Amino acid sequence: MPAELLSEDTVRDRLSGSPWKLGAGEIVREATFADFKEAMSFVNRVADLAEARNHHPDIAVSWNRVTLRLSTHSAGGITAADLELAAAIDGIAG
């Protein structure tokens, strides 16, 4: 059974006060680091979290900036799994 999509209002409420922003069917977070090495270290920590949950963000790296995009592709939008992974990422991002 596919995961249940969350309403935009629910997502906005759950993201309130966090660095994540609601996009079109996804949530997005940008993080900036001192240099490329720190950015990649963060990406590797995100990868560990994602693998443990079998839920993987789209990740873009541009020198010291990392952009993460989360959605549940099989459900066609944002589910609880996305918000749970976002919260876990917040825990390692500092």
Domains of the chain and any CATH numbers: 8-93 (3.30.1360.20)
**How far is Cα 85 from Cα 53, in angstroms, rounded to an integer?**
8
Distances (CA, A) of 23 to 8, 44, 46, 53: 10, 24, 20, 22
Predicted TM-score (pTM) of the model is 0.94
pLDDT one-digit tens code per residue, 57-90? 999 999 999 999 999 999 999 999 999 999 999 9
pLDDT above 80: residue 42: yes
What is d(CA 45, CA 91) in angstroms, rounded to the nearest whole number? 11
